Structure 1
Amino acid sequence: MACSKVLLGNLPELTDDIIQYFRDDIPTLRSCILVNKFWCQIAIPLLWKDPFSMKNPKNFHFIEIYLQKINEKDKAQLSRCGISNNVFPTKTLFNYSNFIKCINTRNIYSIIVNWIEANKMFTCSKGRIFLLLIKIFIENEAKLHTFEIEIAYKYLESRKYFNSIFKLILQNPKFISKLKNLKLHFNEDIVKYKFDYKYLKCFYYHCNLISSLHVRFSGYKSFKHNHIILSQIINSQRNLEKIIFAHVKYINEHTLPFSSDIIPFYNIIGDSNSSKPLKVIIFYRINFRNILHIKEAFEQLNVLESIHILECLIFNSNFIQQIIDLNKPFKLISLFIKDEHDLFMSDENRNLQIVLLMQLLFQNFGEYLENIGFSSNVKDVLKYRALEFINNYCKRIKFFDIYTTSIQKTHIALDSINIFGQNLNYLSIYVLIPHNEKDESTIEMFLRLAHVLPCKLEYLNLYFNTQIRKNIWDVFLKNLKHISIKKLLFRIINLFDDILPYIKEYIMKEKRVEYLAIEGYIEIQVSTYIIHKYKSELFNMTDELKEFESYNIKVKEYNDLYIKAHEFIDEMY
Structure 2
Amino acid sequence: MASKIFTGDMPEMMENILSNLRNEHYSLYSCALVNRHWCKISIPILWSDPFSFNKLPNFISRYFSFLNDDEKTVLRECGSIGTIISNTLFPYAKFLKVLDLLLFVCKVQLWVESLCTDPLRQVGKEIVNLLLKLFIKSGATLSNLRTYINFTIKPEIFYLLGKNETFFSRLQDVSVEGVSSESNMDGAIMLLRILAENATNICSLSLNTLNSIHAQPINEVFASIIKPQQHIRRIILNYQLNLHSIVSALESQCKSLQEIKIFKCDCSDEFRILMDCENLKVFRAIYSADRILLRILSTSICKLTILEISSNQFDASNVIQILERSGSLLQRLKLESSLEVISQSSLLETLTNFCPNITYLYISSIKFSTQLPRLIQGLQRLQFLTLKWIRDENERANVIKKRVIRLAKLLPSTLRYLEWKALRSNPHNDDLLNNCNAPLGKLLIHVDFGKKKLSETLIKFHVRKKTLRYVNVTSTDLNLVKDFEGYVIHVPYEKLVVHC
Q: Same fold (TM over 0.5)?
A: yes
Distance 1:379 1:3, change over 3 A: farther
Distance 1:78 1:503, change over 3 A: farther
| Residue aligning to 1:344 | none
In the TM superposition, residue 103 of structure 1 has moved relative to its aligned partner by 0.7
Distance 1:362 1:9, change over 3 A: closer
What is the distance in 2 between the residues matched to 1:32 and 1:192? 42
In the TM superposition, residue 38 of structure 1 has moved relative to its aligned partner by 2.7
What is the distance in 1 between the residues matched to 2:480 and 2:106? 29
The answer to whether structure 1 residue 94 and structure 2 residue 52 are counterparts is no
Amino acid across the alignment from 1:295: R
| Residue aligning to 1:139 | 137
Amino acid across the alignment from 1:281: E
| Cα shift readout 1:300-327 (whole Å, capped 9, x = no counterpart) | x5x624241332534543x45544555x
User: Which of 303, 326, 331 is the aligned partner of 1:370?
Assistant: 331
| Residue aligning to 1:209 | 201
The answer to whether structure 1 residue 563 and structure 2 residue 498 are counterparts is yes
TM-score (norm: length of structure 2): 0.79
In the TM superposition, residue 357 of structure 1 has moved relative to its aligned partner by 4.0
User: Which of 297, 302, 306 is the aligned partner of 1:334?
Assistant: 306
What is the distance in 1 between the residues matched to 2:148 and 2:64? 23
What is the distance in 2 between the residues matched to 1:284 and 1:424? 26
What is the distance in 1 between the residues matched to 2:26 and 2:445? 27
In the TM superposition, residue 558 of structure 1 has moved relative to its aligned partner by 5.0
The answer to whether structure 1 residue 232 and structure 2 residue 232 are counterparts is no
User: Which of 444, 447, 453 is the aligned partner of 1:490?
Assistant: 444
In the TM superposition, residue 101 of structure 1 has moved relative to its aligned partner by 0.8
In the TM superposition, residue 169 of structure 1 has moved relative to its aligned partner by 1.8
What is the distance in 2 between the residues matched to 1:537 and 1:174? 57
Q: Report the secondary structure of 1:375's partner residue.
A: strand
The answer to whether structure 1 residue 270 and structure 2 residue 247 are counterparts is no
| Cα shift readout 1:258-307 (whole Å, capped 9, x = no counterpart) | xxx46256521235xx8x75141312225464452x335643x5x62424
In the TM superposition, residue 104 of structure 1 has moved relative to its aligned partner by 1.0
Distance 1:474 1:200, change over 3 A: closer
Instruction: Give the share of equivalent positions with the same residue, in percent.
Output: 20
| Residue aligning to 2:160 | 168
In the TM superposition, residue 172 of structure 1 has moved relative to its aligned partner by 2.0
The answer to whether structure 1 residue 106 and structure 2 residue 99 are counterparts is no
The within-5 A match list for 1:145-294 is 145-151=143-149, 155=150, 158-161=151-154, 165-187=157-179, 197-218=189-210, 222-238=214-230, 240-248=231-239, 261=242, 263-264=244-245, 267-271=248-252, 277-287=255-265, 289-290=267-268, 292=270, 294=271
| Cα shift readout 1:172-231 (whole Å, capped 9, x = no counterpart) | 222112212222224596599677513212122222222222233336665543344233
The answer to whether structure 1 residue 116 and structure 2 residue 112 are counterparts is yes
The answer to whether structure 1 residue 518 and structure 2 residue 476 are counterparts is no
What is the distance in 1 between the residues matched to 2:229 and 2:24? 32
Partners of 2:383 and 2:415 within 8 A in 1: yes
Q: Report the secondary structure of 2:140's partner residue.
A: coil
| Residue aligning to 2:412 | 454
| Residue aligning to 1:345 | none
Distance 1:325 1:382, change over 3 A: closer
Q: Report the secondary structure of 1:64's partner residue.
A: helix
The within-5 A match list for 1:290-369 is 290=268, 292=270, 294-296=271-273, 298-299=275-276, 301=277, 304-317=279-292, 319-323=293-297, 326=300, 329-340=301-312, 354-364=315-325, 369=330
| Cα shift readout 1:85-110 (whole Å, capped 9, x = no counterpart) | 4534x233433222211011111122
For this pair of structures, how many residues does the alignment match?
Answer: 492
| Cα shift readout 1:475-494 (whole Å, capped 9, x = no counterpart) | 357x33xx376xx3535566
In the TM superposition, residue 144 of structure 1 has moved relative to its aligned partner by 0.7
| Residue aligning to 1:81 | 78
Q: Report the secondary structure of 2:286's partner residue.
A: strand
Partners of 2:338 and 2:365 within 8 A in 1: no
| Residue aligning to 1:346 | none
Partners of 2:368 and 2:391 within 8 A in 1: no
Q: Report the secondary structure of 1:113's partner residue.
A: helix
Gaps of 5+ in 1: 342-350, 524-531, 549-553, 566-573
Distance 1:360 1:208, change over 3 A: closer
Q: Report the secondary structure of 1:533's partner residue.
A: coil
What is the distance in 1 between the residues matched to 2:183 and 2:309? 30
Partners of 2:473 and 2:490 within 8 A in 1: no
In the TM superposition, residue 468 of structure 1 has moved relative to its aligned partner by 8.3
Distance 1:30 1:201, change over 3 A: same
TM-score (norm: length of structure 1): 0.70
The answer to whether structure 1 residue 398 and structure 2 residue 359 are counterparts is yes
Q: Report the secondary structure of 1:417's partner residue.
A: helix
Partners of 2:445 and 2:474 within 8 A in 1: no
Partners of 2:316 and 2:342 within 8 A in 1: no
What is the distance in 2 between the residues matched to 1:401 and 1:453? 14
Distance 1:453 1:471, change over 3 A: closer
Q: Report the secondary structure of 1:18's partner residue.
A: helix
The answer to whether structure 1 residue 66 and structure 2 residue 66 are counterparts is no
Distance 1:130 1:381, change over 3 A: same
Q: Which moved more, 1:392-401 or 1:100-109?
A: 392-401
Distance 1:28 1:365, change over 3 A: same
Distance 1:426 1:48, change over 3 A: farther
Distance 1:172 1:97, change over 3 A: same
What is the distance in 2 between the residues matched to 1:213 and 1:363? 29
In the TM superposition, residue 463 of structure 1 has moved relative to its aligned partner by 5.8
| Residue aligning to 1:571 | none
Q: Report the secondary structure of 1:226's partner residue.
A: helix
User: Which of 356, 360, 382 is the aligned partner of 2:343?
Assistant: 382
What is the distance in 1 between the residues matched to 2:97 and 2:249? 28
Partners of 2:283 and 2:307 within 8 A in 1: yes
Partners of 1:311 and 1:338 within 8 A in 2: yes
Amino acid across the alignment from 1:64: S
Distance 1:233 1:115, change over 3 A: same
What is the distance in 1 between the residues matched to 2:10 and 2:243? 58
Distance 1:81 1:192, change over 3 A: closer
What is the distance in 1 between the residues matched to 2:141 and 2:172? 11
Amino acid across the alignment from 2:145: F
Q: Report the secondary structure of 2:412's partner residue.
A: coil
Q: Report the secondary structure of 1:401's partner residue.
A: strand
What is the distance in 2 between the residues matched to 1:28 and 1:445? 49
What is the distance in 1 between the residues matched to 2:497 and 2:39? 32
| Residue aligning to 2:49 | 50
What is the distance in 2 between the residues matched to 1:476 and 1:110? 51
What is the distance in 1 between the residues matched to 2:350 and 2:474? 39
What is the distance in 2 between the residues matched to 1:213 and 1:116? 32
